[in-house]
Structure 1
């Protein structure tokens, strides 16, 4: 009985130590993973719209899109859509 208990304890210790030794975080992040982590961090910062767009353009290496407002206080999406009920 004592041998069986000792064997069970040794087997349990071996299994638990084997499970605890593997860590997937030890490998280096790829460039894509690093960029995704930076974008997730940017989303959590609570920046203003303009600051967010500037930082995002820097991270993605893309040109920043300038968002302008027209004279009626509406946002110009750089595409004009003709509405039949509006004069313009």
Structure 2
């Protein structure tokens, strides 16, 4: 008789403890910062070209896109010894 009462008491305690736990994080809505972070992480995994990545990243973050490119001096060859005006080589 005592064993049956003990088992029933443990069962009721386990059920009530399960009902009293806080909801899991998956059930709550994401905050704006979490949504932005998830979108940026997904963007990193997409394998886009550098220009496409910068365009979409600027759109996600709301920052103006910075122009990227080469300067007007062109490419330099390390084997060539050229002194540019105004710059130490």
Which TM-score band applies after superposition, normalised by the shorter structure? 0.5 to 0.7
> How big is the shift at 1:17?
3.6
**RMSD across aligned positions (CA):** 2.5
Q: Which residue of 2 aligns with 1:33?
A: 34
- Choose between structure 1 and 2 for higher RCO, CA contacts under 8 A separated by at least 6 residues: 2
Distance 2:30 2:18 in 1: 27
**Structure 2 unaligned blocks of 5 or more:** 77-85
> How big is the shift at 1:32?
2.1
Greater strand proportion:
1
Query: How high is the TM-score relative to the length of structure 2?
Result: 0.67
Structure with the greater alpha carbon radius of gyration: 2
Query: How high is the TM-score relative to the length of structure 1?
Result: 0.68
**Structure 1 unaligned blocks of 5 or more:** 74-81
